[in-house]
Amino acid sequence: MSGQLFIDGVWRDGAGAAASSFDPATGETVWRGATAWKGDVAQAVAAARRALPAWADQPRAARAAALRRYQSALERRAPAFAEALSRETGKALWETKAELGSMRAKVDASLKAYDERTGESHLPTAFGQAVLRHRPHGVMAVLGPFNFPGHLPNGHIVPALLAGDTVVFKPSEETPLAGQMLVEALEEADLPPGVVNLVQGGRDTGAALIAEAIDGLLFTGSASAGAYFRRIFADRPDVILALELGGNNPLVVWDAGDPEAIAALVVQSAFITTGQRCSCARRLIVEDGPAGQAVIDAVAALADRLIVGPWNGAAEPFMGPLISPRAAAAAVAGAERLGGRTVRRLAPIASLGEAFVSPGLVDVTGVEVADEELFAPLLQVRRAASFAEAVGAANATRYGLSAGLISNDPGLWDDFLKQIRAGVVNWNRPTTGAAGTMPFGGLGASGNHRPSAYYAADYCAYPVASFEAAKVLQTISEIKGLRP
């Protein structure tokens, strides 16, 4: 598909360099187009700024109706959109269909969250009333990731539009088609020109966007990029930052019973989406002894049974390729740097293509390992002598996105919940379990204390508190401390 920019309600060619995206399973070109030059970016921000006053002043019902139209457009486009997502990311079709479902559900969740968290309230007082209102921040820059190129930017864009913000969206350079299709669906919602704008490109386009006079940056991506944005905006406190970053997420197994049942939860935590979820388990912490070894053996056996293949292969896969051959090479190199004892090697699958790798399992007990997120299907195993030691190992990270406990002991869950430092903490469920009706975000290097999903409403509008009296009633006699 040929691609364009969408600025001020018009599709147009970019003035920047040509770019392409590829099916990571086959290397086939999926999208090609010209990227946004800095002049294009400036025009997109200017268009969003012009559209802001009228869009912000529309009643909530009018903005909600526009988002309902967008929701309907997503429904109509779902089959083609899901297939495009699979082609561009390599994800299985069952995953991309679910992603489209999450995008549609985000409209309902955002409407509810807006009213609950950032709506309007009136409290009678002796002089009149105290009123709480919320106003949009302004022009929001949204930078999207490649792993959920529809769902994650959608999770910023929908609540921002509902709050009355306008948007300039730059998708990942790996997934420009997904970004274009999202904006095409928004175009069907008949939004006023300039309310949503699309600029395509890589790092230079993103740098041009954040250098403009934006009011907010809504970003989902790596912790290193998040740290960079914190530094860049240190002297721009007027710009709100909402950073949803990565994780080095622990999964503790203790007194849990059936190893095969445990393995099912571990595999879903670590290897779903080929390990390309920020909430994937990266570290498995088990008892040092026969029970822990049984879990490791069961996980390895189940990993051997996982179908790895293209989204449109003869057998429906559990795992597809990584986003690119470059990412696959980096994953293999990262696994080799770990050290430890290899239980299952993360290795290239030459028969499938350069972007495919097998799931890896490495026992790093007693080995010092860098506290980094490796965005791939690689699970580190560490053995602990006690539950207290296991929780200490789980917390031994600068990240704090997700964590999980697999155990049949409610007392251990109570202890774990009190001690673990993470924003998403699950019990006998995959670490990737999350819902749009709850907050999603983390601590430390995993974010900046502005969780997304249901709490996205909080960073899309600011509160305005007012004391209001309909008439001038106060008299001079009510003022204390006046001379006669």
Burial of 41 (0-12, 13-18, 19+ CB in 10 A): buried
Q: Assess whether 244 carries a catalytic annotation.
A: yes
Cα Rg of the chain, angstroms: 24
- Contact between 382 and 295 (Cβ < 8 Å): no
Provide the β-strand partners of residue 382.
285
Provide the β-strand partners of residue 446.
none
Per annotation, catalytic residue among 88, 278, 280, 354: 278
Q: Assess whether 75 carries a catalytic annotation.
A: no
Question: The tokens of 53 are what?
Answer: 């006053």
SS3 14: coil
> CB neighbours of 195 closer than 8 A, spacing ≥ 6?
48, 51, 55, 161, 166, 167
- Classify the phi-psi angles of 476: left when phi > 0, otherwise alpha if psi is within -120 to 50, otherwise beta: alpha
Write the CA distances from 144 to 99, 156, 426, integer angstroms: 14, 9, 26
Q: Which residue's entry shows tokens 């979820």?
A: 277
Where b means 16+ CB within 10 Å and e means fewer, 246-285 reads bbbbbbbbbebeebeebbebbbbbbbbbbbbbbbbbbbbb
Per annotation, catalytic residue among 95, 174, 244, 287: 244
Supply the DSSP string of 23-59, one letter for each residue.
Answer: -TTT--EEEEEEPPPHHHHHHHHHHHHHHHHHHHHS-
Output the CA torsion sign for 128, 130, 132, 133: positive
∠ Cα 337 343 348 (to 5°): 60
| Residue 318 amino acid letter | F
> CB neighbours of 61 closer than 8 A, spacing ≥ 6?
none
Catalytically annotated residues: 244, 278
